[in-house]
Amino acid sequence: MTQEQWGQVQKALLETIGRNNFRTWIEPLEFAELTDGVATLHVPTSFLGNYVRQNFGDMLLYQMTAVGADVRRIRFQVPAHPANSTRPAPQKPAIAAPTRPAAAAPAAARDDLLPAAPLDPRFTFDSFVVGKPNELAHAAAKRVAEGGPVTFNPLFLYGGVGLGKTHLMHAIAHELRTRHPHLNVLYLSAEQFMYRFVQALRDRKMMDFKEIFRAVDVLMVDDVQFIAGKDSTQEEFFHTFNALVDQNRQIVISADRAPGEIKDLENRIKSRLQCGLVVDLHPTDYELRLGILQSKVVAQKAQYPELELADGVLEFLAHRISTNVRVLEGALTRLFAFASLVGREITLELAQDCLADILRASDRKISIEEIQKKVSEHYNIRLSDMIGPKRVRSFARPRQVAMYLCKQLTSRSLPEIGRRFGGRDHTTVMHGVRRIEELRMQDAQIEEDIELLRRALEA
Ligand SMILES: Nc1ncnc2c1ncn2[C@@H]1O[C@H](COP(=O)(O)OP(=O)(O)OP(=O)(O)O)[C@@H](O)[C@H]1O
């Protein structure tokens, strides 16, 4: 591969994963050499190499092939520093290239036999609002929905309640069915999979069951955590999964947590699920919530054309309701219905009245105190030390982590957060938040700590 081709690969990645991700993960890579089908990319740290391999390895491989380079594997290597060491840097595990052609054989329509779940016509890519927390998941879903060569298998989407997993799954299925009507696209929940499986066992129709699932071109299973602890369903899922991957058929899976974190799921299934691209839908941020509200309000206004919506109401909701998108949508629907009933303009006061319970629940969700308590427990320091004036690193870092989480998970302002951390200035909070944002990119341990804490707090 020439440096020019490498430039083309980078450009394609930039378009697929967005500028922020590109800058963080792809720009630092340097193409070193291509020998015997193995492309070596230099990475500044092994953490970055691991992350890129796991999250963008298949995309890189796909793009290298697309620009005409004869690449079968990618090796990520931290270059040995001549001043420090004469030994070559340890080689990272390589990624195997997909060896089979794309699933193509048009399957005969067997809709009567297929246990598919209905798709919600509203859940399309057009109605999905993209922001920083979901841009990678969206890009990966779009790629699968193109129905081109299978580049990552499975695509594993995970995230907390109501963050858009099902929406994205349906969007993929809609688009695949429109673009490639001959493809057998099967979408169902893990619960439905189990139900069909048990039914087949009971009716002695296991052969039919296997045949139906093996004839699928794209299998999409929602909420896979449901089969955890259900031994024979897991066993059958494992065989179905392997049979389809062997035939190079695309699989898309969703769950409420990462494969490794699903309790009572067999290890061999976990490792299978981790083989492809695992992407996380992060909790929404203020901008995304506002974007979603702005897009959803159009339908409400069409339904209630007589209603006036005062300035600032959507911003207020985006600020105050930080739980999940379903709750946000519900609040908007209720607000319009209520305003129409009482025949009043939708103002801040009306929103506060009509949504008091939702606002209270959202406020109660995570408090600054809870965050401070959890973080100090996690780092095994006293609460008073975290809030107090001491600047030693063992207290300062947990303090910054706690400030960062307060900014992310509560709707409190920087000055307010500063006040609750022993009367610190808002610029100190801002500095702490920025520092943690940087460290999340560089330090795998901090990244893991934050994820753990976030999950514990949101549970
Ligand atoms: N980015 C987004 N843009 C537009 N709508 C969204 C977005 N994210 C979520 N929604 C909407 O929020 C609601 C909940 O989303 P969805 O059902 O996909 O969540 P989920 O992650 O599957 O949740 P659960 O864990 O409960 O299954 C849906 O109505 C969906 O359309």
The pLDDT of residue 365: 65
In a domain, 99, yes or no: no
**How many angstroms separate the alpha carbon of residue 168 from the centre of ligand 1?**
8
459 band by pLDDT with thresholds 50, 70 and 90: low
Residues touching ligand 1 (Cβ under 6 Å) are 123, 127-129, 134, 159, 161-167, 256, 292, 325-326, 329
- Which residue has a Cα nearest atom 5 of ligand 1? 128
Do 345 and 419 share a domain, yes or no?
A: no
The pLDDT of residue 31: 93
- By C-alpha distance, which of 90, 219, 207, 85 is closest to 150? 219
Burial 64-75 (b: 16+ CB within 10 A, else e): bbebebebbbbb
Give me the percent of the chain exceeding a pLDDT of 70: 91
CA distances (Å), 64 to each of 22, 26, 56, 73, in order?
A: 16, 14, 12, 10
In this structure, the strands spanning 30-35 and 38-42 are antiparallel
- Which of 362, 389, 414 is at the close of a domain? 362
Largest CA distance in the chain: 79
In a domain, 100, yes or no: no
- Which CATH number goes with the domain that contains 221? 3.40.50.300
Instruction: Report the atom number in ligand 1 closest to the C-alpha of 122.
Output: 31
**What does the pLDDT look like over 98-148, one tens digit per residue?**
332 333 333 333 333 346 678 898 999 999 999 999 999 999 999 999 998
**Which of 325, 329, 458 gets mutated to test ligand 1 (max ligand atoms within 8 A of its CB)?**
325
In a domain, 120, yes or no: no
Crossing angle of helices 426-442 and 393-409, rounded to 10°: 100
- Which CATH number goes with the domain that contains 376? 1.10.1750.10
- Sign, CA dihedral 329-123-188-253, equals negative
Asked if ipTM goes beyond 0.95, one says yes
Phi, psi of 68, rounded to the nearest 5 degrees: 95, 10
Do 183 and 63 share a domain, yes or no?
A: no
Rounded to an integer, the average pLDDT of 73-86 is 66
pTM: 0.61
Burial 427-440 (b: 16+ CB within 10 A, else e): ebbeebbebbeebb
Domain residue limits at 410? 368-458
Phi, psi of 136, rounded to the nearest 5 degrees: -70, -45
Q: If residue 33 lies in a helix (H) or strand (E), which one and from where to where? A: strand 30-35
Do 142 and 24 share a domain, yes or no?
A: no
Question: How many domains does the chain contain in total?
Answer: 4
- By C-alpha distance, which of 295, 279, 291 is closest to 142? 279
**How many angstroms separate the alpha carbon of residue 135 from the centre of ligand 1?**
14
Do 297 and 385 share a domain, yes or no?
A: no
Instruction: Please work out, in degrees rounded to the nearest 5, the angle formed at the alpha carbon of residue 38 by the alpha carbons of 20 and 70.
Output: 90
- Which residue has a Cα nearest atom 25 of ligand 1? 161
165 is in an annotated binding site: yes
Q: Give me the amino acid identity at 330.
A: G
153 band by pLDDT with thresholds 50, 70 and 90: very high
**What does the pLDDT look like over 181-202, one tens digit per residue?**
899 999 999 999 999 999 899 8
166 is in an annotated binding site: yes
- Which CATH number goes with the domain that contains 297? 1.10.8.60
**How many angstroms separate the alpha carbon of residue 272 from the centre of ligand 1?**
26
Phi, psi of 346, rounded to the nearest 5 degrees: -85, 105
In a domain, 410, yes or no: yes
Q: How far is CA 162 from the centre of its chain?
A: 12
Do 381 and 307 share a domain, yes or no?
A: no
Alpha helices by DSSP H, 247-324: 267-273, 286-303, 313-320
364 band by pLDDT with thresholds 50, 70 and 90: low
Q: 92 or 310: whose pLDDT is higher?
A: 310
Q: Which residues pair with 280 in a beta bridge?
A: 158
Residue 452 has pLDDT above 50, yes or no: yes
The pLDDT of residue 115: 67
**Which of 129, 156, 163 gets mutated to test ligand 1 (max ligand atoms within 8 A of its CB)?**
163
**How many angstroms separate the alpha carbon of residue 331 from the centre of ligand 1?**
14
Rounded to an integer, the average pLDDT of 260-289 is 91
Do 257 and 300 share a domain, yes or no?
A: no
Do 357 and 387 share a domain, yes or no?
A: no
**Which of 166, 223, 297, 455 gets mutated to test ligand 1 (max ligand atoms within 8 A of its CB)?**
166
Strand locations in 44-92 (E): 73-77
296 band by pLDDT with thresholds 50, 70 and 90: very high
Do 151 and 213 share a domain, yes or no?
A: yes
The pLDDT of residue 116: 67
Q: 106 or 331: whose pLDDT is higher?
A: 331
- Which residue has a Cα nearest atom 14 of ligand 1? 162
The pLDDT of residue 206: 92
In a domain, 37, yes or no: yes
The pLDDT of residue 98: 31
Tokens read off for 296: 């959803």
Rounded to an integer, the average pLDDT of 376-401 is 94
Rounded to an integer, the average pLDDT of 49-78 is 82
Do 196 and 251 share a domain, yes or no?
A: yes
Instruction: Report the atom number in ligand 1 closest to the C-alpha of 163.
Output: 21
Do 344 and 397 share a domain, yes or no?
A: no
Rounded to an integer, the average pLDDT of 170-175 is 96
**Which of 161, 167, 280 gets mutated to test ligand 1 (max ligand atoms within 8 A of its CB)?**
167
CA dist 411 and 283 (Å) reads 13
Confirm if 209 and 200 have CB atoms less than 8 A apart: yes
**How many angstroms separate the alpha carbon of residue 101 from the centre of ligand 1?**
33
Rounded to an integer, the average pLDDT of 226-236 is 92
- Which of 19, 46, 80 is at the close of a domain? 80
- Which residue has a Cα nearest atom 13 of ligand 1? 326
Do 254 and 302 share a domain, yes or no?
A: no
Q: Which residues pair with 158 in a beta bridge?
A: 255, 280
The pLDDT of residue 81: 56
CA dist 384 and 153 (Å) reads 48
**How many angstroms separate the alpha carbon of residue 192 from the centre of ligand 1?**
20
330 band by pLDDT with thresholds 50, 70 and 90: very high
CA distances (Å), 318 to each of 287, 294, 296, in order?
A: 8, 10, 12
Residue 446 has pLDDT above 50, yes or no: yes
Do 176 and 224 share a domain, yes or no?
A: yes
The pLDDT of residue 185: 92
